[in-house]
């Protein structure tokens, strides 16, 4: 991956709440998730499933820019997560699918897009084992469709949001951006393959792409198929936490607000052709996570009582033990996580207490793996 070809990217998205004498700009942000997608219009395109926080931040902090939210409205989408900005003048919602090449081409022809933030993906690892072809279609083909349309439209920046899982697992070695990709599940494999397409457009055309690889994100708005909202919701419904295998596998958790700041940092300062890890040193085993949530929600410190709220279920076909990452590269751009675990998890627990039914099918997400009918 190469160095920056020019220095104008940092001016594409100005500092927050800045104004211009020319009125509202034409920044187009397209944000897409397999479940929730969004677009912004100073022509920035964004796609991802945890993107609601990014959309809200952009709409509220950059009132002079139009944000267009492109969303497929898949099973884990909820427009309720965007109700606070739904009537804002600089926000527009469009329903659509990045796998529809004709639609995507028309979108870029009718909406001048300068920047793309592409988070779009099927991301549920459990589901990827039983629907691997669907993950390949959405995550690889859909990315190629969006990437090529952005290239033909000559957008000025294309940010592809990937995952730490492309590295595969490691018990001791920390991954940096140059580490080889060794994915071990269909989801991670599809993201790694999509990365190759994105990188090829830089190598062949010098199309200004940036790739991010982040640790596990948690916080409000997340569909409860992910481990933290799933455990929280199970306990709040007086059901046991279902743990895959031994539960000794560990994960690094980043609060949503910190991830938003990371993406905005990459948007403003990331160099074309580069990869940035977005990680944290906060690491916790799944068993420890379950016990902490039981303590907070069930208000007990008794080991025997906590054991009553845990149920061990069959493990995934493959389940990496750790994803240790180095994030010094993005630290050099000025970003570091700020929200402490205890603060972030308490806010998350409270949000799910009031908002679990933001999704009509939220109950399905609480079933243990394998879930054959999650998207039916």
The pLDDT score that the predictor gives to residue 151 is 97
Catalytic (active-site) positions: 164-165, 187
- Average pLDDT for residues 124-135, to the nearest whole number? 91
Spatial contact of 2 and 269, defined as CB atoms under 8 Å apart? no
Q: pTM above the 0.75 mark?
A: yes
> Is 6 a residue whose pLDDT tops 50?
no
- Average pLDDT for residues 14-19, to the nearest whole number? 50
Domain ranges of the chain: 25-223+256-277
Measured CA to CA, the distance from residue 153 to residue 157 in angstroms comes to: 11
- Helix axis angle for 286-298 and 341-355, nearest 10°, is 60
Where is pLDDT greater, at 9 or 190? 190
Positive or negative, the Cα torsion across 365, 376, 123, 101?
negative
Residue with token string 């180095």: 326
* Complete edge-to-edge strand list for the sheet that includes strand 250-255: 216-218, 250-255, 283-285
Structural class in CATH, domain 25-223+256-277: alpha beta
Q: Considering only CA atoms, which of 208, 174, 1, 198 is closest in space to residue 119?
A: 198
The chain-wide mean pLDDT, for the chain, equals 85
Spatial contact of 213 and 277, defined as CB atoms under 8 Å apart? yes
Measured CA to CA, the distance from residue 159 to residue 57 in angstroms comes to: 17
């Amino acid at each position: 991956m190469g160095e920056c070809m020019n220095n104008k990217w940092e001016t594409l998205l100005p500092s927050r709440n800045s104004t211009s004498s020319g009125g509202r700009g034409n920044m187009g942000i397209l944000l897409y998730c397999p479940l929730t997608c969004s677009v912004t219009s100073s022509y920035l395109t964004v796609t991802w499933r945890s993107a609601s926080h990014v959309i809200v931040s952009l709409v509220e902090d950059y009132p002079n820019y139009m944000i267009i939210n492109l969303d497929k409205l898949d099973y884990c989408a909820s427009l309720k997560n965007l109700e606070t900005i739904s009537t804002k003048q600089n926000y527009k919602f469009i329903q659509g699918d990045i796998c529809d090449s004709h639609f995507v081409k028309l979108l870029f022809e009718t909406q001048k897009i300068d920047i793309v933030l592409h988070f779009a993906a099927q991301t549920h690892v459990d589901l990827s084992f039983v629907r691997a072809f669907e993950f390949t279609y959405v995550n690889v083909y859909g990315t190629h469709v969006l990437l090529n349309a952005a290239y033909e439209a000559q957008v000025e920046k294309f940010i592809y949001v990937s995952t730490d899982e492309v590295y595969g697992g490691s018990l001791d070695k920390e991954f940096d951006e140059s580490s080889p990709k060794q994915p071990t599940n269909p989801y991670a494999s599809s993201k790694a393959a999509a990365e190759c397409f994105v990188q090829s457009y830089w190598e062949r055309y010098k199309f200004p792409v940036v790739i991010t690889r982040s640790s596990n994100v948690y916080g409000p708005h997340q569909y409860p198929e992910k481990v933290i909202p799933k455990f929280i919701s199970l306990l709040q419904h007086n059901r046991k936490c279902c743990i895959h295998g031994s539960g000794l596998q560990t994960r690094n958790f980043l609060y949503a607000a910190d991830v938003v700041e990371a993406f905005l940092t990459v948007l403003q300062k990331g160099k074309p052709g580069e990869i940035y890890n977005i990680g944290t040193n906060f690491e916790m085993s799944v068993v420890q996570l379950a016990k902490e949530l039981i303590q907070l929600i069930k208000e007990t410190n008794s080991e025997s009582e906590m054991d009553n709220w845990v149920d061990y279920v069959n493990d995934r076909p493959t389940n990496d033990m750790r994803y240790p990452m180095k994030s010094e590269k993005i630290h050099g751009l000025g970003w570091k996580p700020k929200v402490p675990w205890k603060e972030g998890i308490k806010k998350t627990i409270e949000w799910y207490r009031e908002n679990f039914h933001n999704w009509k099918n939220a109950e399905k997400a609480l079933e243990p793996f394998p879930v054959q009918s999650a998207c039916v």
